[in-house]
Amino acid sequence: MNEIEYEEFYLKYRQIAKSYAYGILEDWYLADDISQEVLYKMYTIRNDLDLENEKMLYALIRRAAVNKALDYKKKSSTKHEFSCHDDETASVLDRRIHVNAEDQILRQEENKFMHMILERFRAEQPINYEILIQTKFMNVPVETVAEEFGLTKSGVNNRIYKAKRWLKEEYEKTYE
């Protein structure tokens, strides 16, 4: 890949990587950084890429941008520092929170159960799972998801509705 080809590649896929990263981070500047990192990585492995297969490139860049954004989000959430300068704020932060152990155990069990339902949903309906995750949790526009899966916008909305209904029914089976 020469410089002209890479520039075309960069201009074509930069916005895709940036929009997926923004869907997770909700910050255009960070999304831009992520898209540049992803496209730099693609440049370093350019000899192994099949530039004729646009569908594969799109999927590769989308997945790389999502993973990079999720990694960034995980790392940044653990690096917050708080400082207290007045006694009142420090006393509020120093107070120990009393939690009912039984409530905490019930919450943990419910979280495990919800995770189990999602895993079963993912195994039984992988396309609906992917559509639901992209549209509702990663904030990817319905139009983009429809284009990716070869569906109409109403087809994607229908799958989202069916996925939500399936999840609700599975949850209600246990908690009725």
Write the pLDDT tens digit of every residue in 35-73.
999 888 888 887 777 777 888 888 888 888 988 988 888
More confident residue, 159 or 173: 159
Neighbours of 164 (CB within 10 A): 13
- 3-state SS assignment for residue 45: coil
User: Is 3-77's fold the same as 101-175's?
Assistant: no
Measure the CA angle with vertex 54, ends 67 and 7; round to 5°: 85
Domain spans of the chain, in order of start: 3-77, 101-175
Mark 69-79 as b/e (b = at least 16 C-beta within 10 Å).
Answer: beebeeeeeee
* CATH domain 101-175 topology: Arc Repressor Mutant, subunit A (1.10.10)
Q: pLDDT tens, 99-125?
A: 567 777 777 777 788 888 888 888 998
Average pLDDT (10-17) is: 85
**Contacts for 7 with CB less than 8 Å, ≥ 6 apart:** none
Percent of the chain with pLDDT over 70: 82
pLDDT in the model for residue 155? 93
* CATH domain 3-77 topology: Rna Polymerase Sigma Factor; Chain: A (1.10.1740)
> How many whole angstroms separate alpha carbon 9 and alpha carbon 4?
9
**Considering only CA atoms, which of 122, 123, 103 is closest in space to residue 111?**
103
Percent of the chain with pLDDT over 90: 14
Question: How far from 150 is each of 32, 73, 144, CA to CA, in Å?
Answer: 27, 30, 10
